[in-house]
Amino acid sequence: MNAKIMVTIILTALLNLLCAVFITDTAARGIAAVTISVVGIGLIIVFLAKPIYDMKMRLRKVQQENDELERMRSEFVSNVTHELKTPLTSISGFVETLQNGAIEDPEIRTKFIDIIAIETDRLKRLIDDVLVLSNIENEIDVPSEQIDVGASIDTVMEMMMPIAESKGIELINEVESGLTVSGDSDRFRQLFMNLVENAIKYSDEGGRVWITGYMSDGHLQMAVSDEGIGIEPENIDKIFMRFYRVDKSRSNKVGGTGLGLSIVKHIASLFGAAITVDSKVGKGSTFYVTFPEPKK
Ligand code: ADP
């Protein structure tokens, strides 16, 4: 119990006792006892009001946070539904047209089947990204291991090589050897895969993409740079929001889902890493990932 309330109760009882002992006149003793009790109870109410008010305020804050989470959750569900609906509507439209006779024309048939394959791929990528995001958000016990940064980035480069080659983009690995960081190695790879994939996707044919890694003031500093289309300053903060694309049609054309950088941001926060972007429209972008100093 609150110390002030305890002291008030003890003082009230003590003063009442003193009145009973020292005031002989019954009427005066009654008035004194009532006055002391009223003042005591009044003080207790005042002392109780503050913690009750604080608790009410805390509850209100929790309620507001819950409402905000609920709003974000339902916004996410409606965004996902909308994003799923677009390719599905397109697939069912082309299937219906084929069923209604277009299947007889070999040229149209090939064209429509190609579109259906592209839309099916888009659906698959979207579902994969939603699953990755949900796994990251729900993962409570994140495995922590000593990650060999060089080996991890070599794997990222290997996996990204086919899409880089298809656009004639040179991938340059400038990660110093012997670097390590602690955390989940799958997530680490996923983070850089998304950044390198974007660097390739938002570059024109024949560009270069670098990945660098070195120690700076006790921190692991990583960066992914490209010579691509760049990002306008007013869009830099927005690109990490779920489903935000600067140019939706370009993102769709290169197989984007609008979730890649949300995943990057989430993984970075699991590592306690900060992300900053330096970009010039028409010149290229660099995404810096600064990891915290290892715990001693
Ligand atoms: P998407 O699946 O559309 O690529 P992301 O979340 O990965 O979604 O990226 C969000 C948006 O940020 C992209 O649609 C694109 O407009 C922009 N963006 C991301 N990386 C780059 C980059 N390296 N260069 C230029 N724009 C980029």
Identify the residue whose C-alpha is closest to ligand 1 atom 19.
Answer: 198
Task: Give distance in angstroms: CA of 247 to centre of ligand 1.
Answer: 9
Query: Reduced to 3 states, what is the DSSP secondary structure of residue 181?
Result: strand
Q: Which of 229, 232, 168, 157 is nearest to 195 (CA)?
A: 157
- Cα atoms in the Cβ-side hemisphere of radius 13 Å centred on 115: 17
Cα 33 to Cα 10: distance, rounded to the nearest angstrom: 14
- What is the structure's pLDDT at 1? 61
Residue nearest to atom 7 of ligand 1 (CA): 260
Nearest CA to ligand 1 atom 20: 198
Alpha carbon dihedral 20, 26, 32, 33, in 10-degree steps, equals 60
Nearest-5° angle of CA 239, CA 244, CA 245?
Answer: 85
- Tens-digit pLDDT string for the chain (296 aa): 678 888 888 999 999 888 888 888 888 888 998 999 999 999 989 888 888 999 999 999 999 999 999 998 888 899 899 889 989 999 999 999 999 998 899 999 999 999 999 999 999 999 999 999 888 888 766 778 999 999 999 999 999 999 999 999 999 999 999 999 999 999 999 999 999 999 999 999 999 999 999 999 999 999 999 999 999 999 999 999 999 999 888 888 888 889 999 999 999 999 999 999 999 999 999 999 999 988 77
| Ligand 1 binding pocket mutation candidate from 251, 253, 262, 267 (most atoms within 8 A of CB) | 251
Distance 17 CA to ligand 1 centre (A): 78
Give the ranges where the chain is alpha helix by DSSP (H).
3-22, 26-99, 106-138, 149-166, 185-201, 248-253, 260-271
Closest residue by Cα to atom 11, ligand 1, is: 245
Give residue ranges with CB within 6 A of ligand 1. Answer: 198-199, 201-202, 226, 228-231, 239, 244-247, 251, 256-262, 285
Closest ligand 1 atom to Cα of 226 = 23
Q: Going by CA atoms, what residue is nearest to atom 23 of ligand 1?
A: 199
108 token code pair: 């149209």
* Cα–ligand 1 centroid distance for 282 (angstroms): 14
> Contacts from 275-281 at CB under 8 Å and sequence distance 24+?
275/240, 277/231, 277/236, 277/239, 279/230, 279/231, 279/233, 279/236, 280/230, 281/229, 281/230, 281/231, 281/232
Return d(Cα 12, Cα 106) in angstroms, integer: 98
Q: From atom 2 of ligand 1, which residue's Cα is the shortest distance away?
A: 256
Beta bridge partners of 209: 171, 226
Q: What does the pLDDT read at residue 284?
A: 97
Mutate to test the pocket of ligand 1, among 79, 261, 262 (most ligand atoms within 8 A of CB): 261
